[in-house]
Structure 1
């Protein structure tokens, strides 16, 4: 059994950097992966988020790349990440662990000037960390040549699949030499990922340290039943209720609009809050992340763009204001807390309409999640207030008729309040050329 990082065969400079970072013992995935990476084997690794997966490939890669020199526009290694935040996080890992090794690195992500990135590439880089789309942009401009790539890492492969990046990844792999070392890591291992592994990897060493889609034991999970219109009030109540135990928290919503609305609501109530979603420019996203890391804001409201891109060991709480549409995203969301052996807590808001989504979450987690009984929560079998009177008034109007036509009278006082956000969003995106209003749907031409 491996006791220390020195037992894994890493170089002296890396061991010093790891010690400086305060790590003493490797995690299970690091114990299994690092020796095989140093041997030059292809790896197919499955480990839940927060288990040290990133260091399991960054540490041995620094050791491997310590010998040799990069040429202009021809990176010696490539790491593909699904999101800008995760790519930036991996870059920070290389800075931390490679400070005693003279390796060059470039980070290629959207929202950053091409010119600055091209300057780095022209000098030659040992490690190229990129999102698939931005890397292809540079390849098409002739600024990156991948024919000298020795090591390829495909990180968060299941997220790549979910976000539709696999065609881009296939194009990138097609630009690389056939003989290379490929490392593929994923938090979950659906059948589609196994097929990709067969396509990209040669005789890989497979390893898994936890059951796919499992959650860490360091995270205390709970849910609270709420009415849809009471979510904001319940969130404020829970934040106040947690008191000093809440050091900072990530608050997840399913939609970008909900992120913006909740941010405005909490900010108006005086909470130290930030926001993060995919439509923000990169500089704003990084600014909020930095404020969250330094404690300038303790609450960060985000979409699932942050479910895998954040590695902040001190996050104490995760609030799921919405049950995620994809059950596996629940695993990644709550994996933002309880990291590096610390204790964390997650609380999910569940409404009556969330029955199917919540059942899928409990199935994938594989264990019972207790319900919090607190003031303001509502039994799920209860109907929302005023439901019965509304139905009664509707039944009265059904009997009325328009005498001139002999048809049921239409209620022209309909409100858009009943429509869900998705429908409203579609209507607001509707564009009709000037002078062609006859193309509008009937209910908009009244």
Structure 2
């Protein structure tokens, strides 16, 4: 129960109103030390409830009587607009019985309207690094009195090239008293460097292992010949799989638009989501899928993080993601909160090595699946097909050949001064059997 935490009664009232009963493992682990003021470095699976794990301690720090706000008191940085919107919604839900006000600043919105919002000085500011920097440069954003800083999906922000922007924003929050850093993966050296420079004596909480990220999701691969073959497989899967909602990931915007056009032409109700879409179109796409008016969303990795759609139970990787972390974030859209899901990756021959590296990263083996009538001819490298007993006899045969060579008698060596005969071969007219050379006769 949430009353086990030392939360303000107004927050407990909101939790009860929202029918939150049992805290998730990440909430049990992170909320108590966060309430004590510790800096935290938390690795937690997408869909594990980590938003509440940092929102509740933040609100508990800021809660109080209604006063005139003069400075932003808490800053939440995230990689995408969609994730920022969802986080703002959660903050507003948990703070509904308080006087705490929050606002969101992201790209794709009117800059002057955002400047007007900032003049009202919200207690909590949520946003993406790029637009935050723009307001910082314009003098419309002041962060010198921020008390609490939260970096959510920090690994993704680094992947998207926001490292310098994040570091500058962190530097602007020089007076902060607490910093929480959350990510879905352990990340690489860049994330470790950021952790070391941003956090002060942090408590590290590892709430999941990579191999457990997709525990509730079946993972399959289907081999394909080319892009056209993949398109046929997608159409078959959407027509024959049982699912409530599906998302199909591509690596490029061009491919996303192409696939979306093919699906619509075949009568599939779908939306497409990628970086070229303006905020209005992106919001419409997500809302229509959430409401159930559309069952299929075609998206690039811009939607792999922060896409929280209830009932999303099918993920198709039209293109194999470029890294294990990206794969984790894609399939993390399904099988959430203990629900079952299905993730299918379509593999051409040039995707095989990438797929194998992701298997090694996850320490898992994907289930190989064949769609009747659409079977791909490529089934993996030939040397992978021989295994177990099948590989045994071949090995013995090779060894026998080596032994026979060792036992063979050495041939007599030709004397150094002896001339080597190099007779030209005489071949029959039919090209089959060599003819015997006749001895020359006297003329």
TM-score, with structure 1 as normaliser: 0.82
Which residue number corresponds to residue 6 of structure 1? 3
Tell me how far apart the structure 2 counterparts of residues 327 and 270 of structure 1 sit (CA, whole Å): 33
Counterpart CA distance in 2 for 1:369 and 1:381 is 13
Unaligned runs of 5+ in 2: 382-443
Query: Is 326-335 or 207-216 further displaced after alignment?
Result: 207-216
Q: Distance in 1 between matches of 2:67 and 2:222?
A: 54
Distance 2:7 2:88 in 1: 20
Larger Rg, first or second structure (1 or 2): 2
Distance in 2 (CA, whole Å) between partners of 1:136 and 1:278 is 19
Q: Which region of structure 1 is more displaced relative to structure 2, 341-350 or 112-121?
A: 112-121
Q: CA deviation at 1:313?
A: 3.0
Q: In structure 1, the residue corresponding to 2:215 is in which secondary structure?
A: coil
1:276 Cα offset (Å): 0.2
Q: How many angstroms apart in 2 are the aligned matches of 1:145 and 1:71?
A: 16
TM-aligned CA distance change 1:72 to 1:227, over 3 Å: same
Matches within 5 A, 1:22-421: 22-67=19-64, 74-189=71-186, 190-212=188-210, 214-228=212-226, 229-242=228-241, 245-375=242-372, 376-381=374-379
Corresponding position of 1:430: none
Taking the aligned partners of 2:134 and 2:45, their CA distance within structure 1 comes to 31
- Contact kept, 8 Å, 1:34 with 1:57, in 2: the verdict is yes
What's the secondary structure of 1:316's corresponding residue? Answer: strand
Q: Is the contact made by 2:69 and 2:123 (CA closer than 8 Å) also made in structure 1?
A: no
1:58 and 1:212 map into 2 onto residues whose CA distance is 25
Give the secondary-structure state (helix, strand or coil) at the position aligned to 1:16.
Answer: helix
> What's the offset of the Cα at 1:381?
4.5
User: Once the two structures are superposed, what CA deviation does each residue of 1:287-310 show, in whole Å capped at 9, x if it has no partner?
Assistant: 111111111111000000010121
In structure 1, how many angstroms separate the alpha carbons of the residues matched to 2:7 and 2:375? 53
Cα contact 2:31–2:57 (8 A) shared by 1: yes
1:82, 1:70 → 2: CA distance? 31
Task: State the alpha-carbon separation in 2 of the partners of residues 73 and 169 from structure 1.
Answer: 23
TM-score (norm 2): 0.82
Change (3 A) 1:33 1:78: same
What is the alpha-carbon distance in structure 2 between the residues aligned to residue 177 and residue 69 of structure 1?
26
Q: Post-superposition shift, 1:223? A: 1.2
Deviation at 1:191, TM superposition (A): 2.9
Superposed CA RMSD: 1.7
Task: Measure how far apart 1:23 and its partner are.
Answer: 2.4
How far is 1:125 from its partner? 0.6
Between the aligned partners of 2:211 and 2:98, the Cα distance in structure 1 is: 36
1:118 alignment partner, SS class: helix
* Structure 1, unpaired ranges of 5+: 384-446
